[in-house]
């Protein structure tokens, strides 16, 4: 995920696409089928899309009155926890909102944990008790929402002093696993920037709903460019994604299910006979898989990938151990979510058009399946975070170049529809934030247990939303 360090009190910004060009339209470039609806016509976008809940239209935020989102008729929303808002402890809300999940609910009051994908510190956040590295600016905040009357209650720091808290995932035992998308350490260099971190990064941390957990990295789960996790509620296995152009898909087998600090074994997925899954896979194609053990889980860089011409290192220490044993290569694995007794995995830049794939891993049968590949940016533009509704449908968070960026709904058989569009254009109405942010990525989508509320973030400028409406049972 793309990040920047934003001011907590004011923000001047213009949206600039990160790729050098948009993919040209025309031709799907996807082979294979997923049911009859995937039979291609000359152009064929309609074979992948359905109307969903209907056309999108600007809707006023019930908190600010600003028309921040476009939604189908009948849906409404409330914004909260903007970059720069005052939290319960008196501190200001950090920016760069990313992954988010619900980790507690009591008497209709929902507690969720939200990531902030920051690197360098740009102001005080949290206390020493929750801070891992005093020179790092990332972390997590806890949000509470009263679903009884549909109102936001408060926000407070939960973890601080981490780096690029990108996504993560909830656990069956009611905690949030937040993942660092960086292996920087003391004196680390990223591009033209040098960081004075005091500790190594690239870890997963566990955050509790009361915010009382100590900031101790779960090192047995690996040190690499983490993105998201999903936990099997039956055996406690944790599935982990890696956000790099050459990425692995991992699982962590804990020594004691539910007690990740007790250690375990990290493994990387292998598809016998198929080393690269970034392109050339047909939608609907399935693979039986194996898993290979990672011996040195704390190795940040491969032996040949650090020093010399690459002083920052190659970030491939864990990946190359798996690759040398036949582990499979994916393209930028980001979203990961447990639902429908399956693990859903998003490759943001996978596929023939580099516009994204959605994979499904069946842990009971140890089988991997490609269930969707974007044929065109107007269908899905680089999906990132993913979540599964209690009703079984999926939500994809776009992180691409097309303006506006969307939340896309996806049926279990792979059909796509628009659900929400980023409509954020600000002229200083809130926290003196100014700019056209309609190209800002969506992140952190997740549903309340009863499926009536969808929570999501727009990373830039940093806003959290609670959305509700006439869901029905056939889509989301």
Any idea where the domains of the chain sit in the sequence? 39-468
Residue 235: count other Cβ atoms within 10 Å of its Cβ.
Answer: 10
Per-residue pLDDT at 46: 67
In the beta sheet, which residues pair with residue 231? Answer: 238
In this predicted structure, the answer to whether residue 53 has a pLDDT above a threshold of 80 is yes
Q: Is residue 126 within 8 Å of 133, Cβ to Cβ?
A: no
- Is the link from the previous residue into 174 a cis peptide, with omega within 30 of 0? no
Q: Is residue 132 within 8 Å of 159, Cβ to Cβ?
A: yes
In this predicted structure, the answer to whether residue 108 has a pLDDT above a threshold of 90 is yes
In this predicted structure, the answer to whether residue 210 has a pLDDT above a threshold of 70 is yes
Q: 352-371 pLDDT, tens per residue?
A: 999 999 999 999 999 999 99
Q: Is residue 295 within 8 Å of 321, Cβ to Cβ?
A: yes
- Is the link from the previous residue into 404 a cis peptide, with omega within 30 of 0? yes
Query: CA-CA distance, 416 to 38, in Å (whole number)?
Result: 12
Percent of the chain whose pLDDT exceeds 90 = 83
The mean pLDDT value for 295-303 works out to 96
Per-residue pLDDT at 124: 83
Query: CA-CA distance, 423 to 120, in Å (whole number)?
Result: 29
In the beta sheet, which residues pair with residue 307? Answer: 310
DSSP string of 369-395?
EEEEE-SSTTT-SSEEEEEE-TTS-EE
- What b-and-e string marks burial along 352-389, b requiring 16 or more CB atoms within 10 Å of the CB? bbbbbbbbbbebeeeebbbbbbbbbbbbbbbbbbbbbb
pLDDT band for position 15 (50/70/90)?
very low
Nearest CA among 399, 443, 387, 466 for reference residue 81:
466
Q: How far is CA 430 from the centre of its chain?
A: 26
In this predicted structure, the answer to whether residue 248 has a pLDDT above a threshold of 80 is yes
Nearest CA among 398, 422, 374 for reference residue 1:
398
Per-residue pLDDT at 30: 33
pLDDT band for position 41 (50/70/90)?
very low
In this predicted structure, the answer to whether residue 1 has a pLDDT above a threshold of 70 is no
Q: Cβ contacts of residue 71 below 8 Å, gap of 6+?
A: 56, 57, 59, 77, 419, 420, 467, 469
Nearest CA among 221, 123, 246 for reference residue 168:
221
Q: Cβ contacts of residue 212 below 8 Å, gap of 6+?
A: none
The mean pLDDT value for 174-196 works out to 92
Query: CA-CA distance, 167 to 181, in Å (whole number)?
Result: 8
Q: Is residue 418 within 8 Å of 406, Cβ to Cβ?
A: yes
Alpha-helical (H) ranges within 294-352 are 317-323
pLDDT band for position 10 (50/70/90)?
very low
Residues, the chain: 476
The helix/strand/coil state of 407 is strand
pLDDT band for position 18 (50/70/90)?
very low
385: which 2 tokens?
Answer: 């975070």
Per-residue pLDDT at 306: 63
The mean pLDDT value for 286-290 works out to 98
Does 46 or 363 have the greater pLDDT score? Answer: 363
The mean pLDDT value for 111-132 works out to 93
pLDDT band for position 474 (50/70/90)?
confident
In the beta sheet, which residues pair with residue 263? Answer: none
pLDDT band for position 8 (50/70/90)?
very low
Query: CA-CA distance, 437 to 71, in Å (whole number)?
Result: 17
The mean pLDDT value for 357-386 works out to 98
Q: 387-431 pLDDT, tens per residue?
A: 999 999 999 999 999 999 999 999 998 999 999 999 999 999 999
381: which 2 tokens?
Answer: 């533009």
Parallel/antiparallel/unpaired status of strands 189-190 and 193-194: antiparallel
Q: Is residue 360 within 8 Å of 279, Cβ to Cβ?
A: no
Per-residue pLDDT at 429: 98
The mean pLDDT value for 316-338 works out to 98
Query: CA-CA distance, 187 to 200, in Å (whole number)?
Result: 10
DSSP structure class, residue 12:
E
- What b-and-e string marks burial along 305-335, b requiring 16 or more CB atoms within 10 Å of the CB? bbeeeeebbbbbbbbbbbbebebbbbbbbbb
The helix/strand/coil state of 260 is helix
Question: Which class in CATH covers the domain with range 39-468?
Answer: mainly beta
The helix/strand/coil state of 144 is strand
Does 334 or 9 have the greater pLDDT score? Answer: 334
Q: What is the mean pLDDT of the chain?
A: 90
Alpha-helical (H) ranges within 178-334 are 317-323
Q: Is residue 393 within 8 Å of 337, Cβ to Cβ?
A: no
27-31, 155-159, 164-168, 456-460: range with lowest mean pLDDT: 27-31
């Amino acid at each position: 995920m793309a990040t920047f360090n934003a001011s907590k009190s004011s923000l001047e910004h213009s949206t600039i696409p990160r790729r050098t060009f948009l993919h040209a339209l025309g031709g799907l470039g996807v082979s294979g089928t997923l049911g009859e609806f995937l039979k291609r016509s000359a152009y064929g976008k309609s074979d992948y899309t359905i109307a969903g809940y209907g056309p999108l239209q600007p809707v006023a935020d019930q908190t600010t009155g600003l028309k921040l989102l476009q939604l189908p008729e009948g849906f409404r929303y409330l914004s909260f926890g903007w970059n720069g808002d005052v939290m319960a402890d008196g501190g200001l809300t950090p920016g760069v909102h990313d992954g988010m999940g619900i980790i507690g609910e009591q008497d209709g009051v929902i507690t969720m944990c939200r990531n902030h994908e920051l690197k360098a510190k740009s102001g005080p956040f949290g206390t020493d008790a929750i801070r891992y590295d005093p020179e790092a600016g990332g972390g997590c905040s806890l949000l509470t929402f009263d679903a009884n009357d549909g109102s936001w209650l408060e926000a407070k720091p939960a973890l601080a002093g981490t780096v690029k808290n990108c996504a993560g995932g909830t656990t069956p035992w009611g905690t949030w696993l937040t993942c660092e998308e960086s292996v920087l350490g003391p004196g680390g260099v990223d591009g033209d920037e040098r960081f004075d971190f005091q500790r190594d990064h690239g870890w997963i941390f566990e955050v509790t709903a009361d915010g009382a957990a100590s900031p101790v990295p779960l090192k047995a789960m690996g040190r690499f460019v983490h993105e998201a996790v999903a936990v099997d509620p039956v055996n406690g296995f944790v599935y982990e994604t890696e956000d790099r152009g050459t990425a692995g898909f991992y699982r962590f087998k804990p020594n004691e299910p539910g007690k990740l600090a007790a250690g375990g074994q990290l493994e990387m997925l292998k598809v016998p006979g198929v080393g690269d899954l970034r392109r050339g896979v047909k939608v609907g194609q399935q693979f039986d898989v194996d898993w290979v053990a990672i011996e040195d889980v704390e190795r940040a860089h491969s032996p040949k990938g650090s020093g010399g011409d690459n002083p920052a290192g190659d970030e491939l220490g864990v990946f190359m151990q798996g690759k040398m044993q036949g582990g499979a290569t994916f393209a930028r694995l980001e979203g990961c979510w447990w639902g429908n007794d399956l693990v859903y995995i998003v490759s943001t830049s996978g596929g023939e058009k580099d516009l994204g794939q959605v994979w499904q891993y069946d842990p009971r049968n140890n089988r991997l399946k490609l269930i969707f590949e974007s044929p065109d940016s107007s269908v899905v533009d680089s999906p990132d975070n993913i979540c599964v509704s209690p009703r079984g449908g999926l939500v994809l968070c776009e992180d691409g170049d097309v303006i506006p960026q969307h939340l896309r709904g996806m049926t279990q058989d792979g059909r796509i529809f628009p659900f929400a569009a980023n409509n954020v254009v600000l002229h200083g109405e809130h926290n003196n934030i100014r700019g056209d942010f309609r190209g800002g990525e969506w992140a952190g989508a997740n549903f309340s247990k009863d499926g009536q509320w969808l929570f999501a973030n727009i990373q830039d400028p940093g806003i959290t939303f609670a959305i509700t409406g006439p869901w029905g049972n056939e889509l989301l």
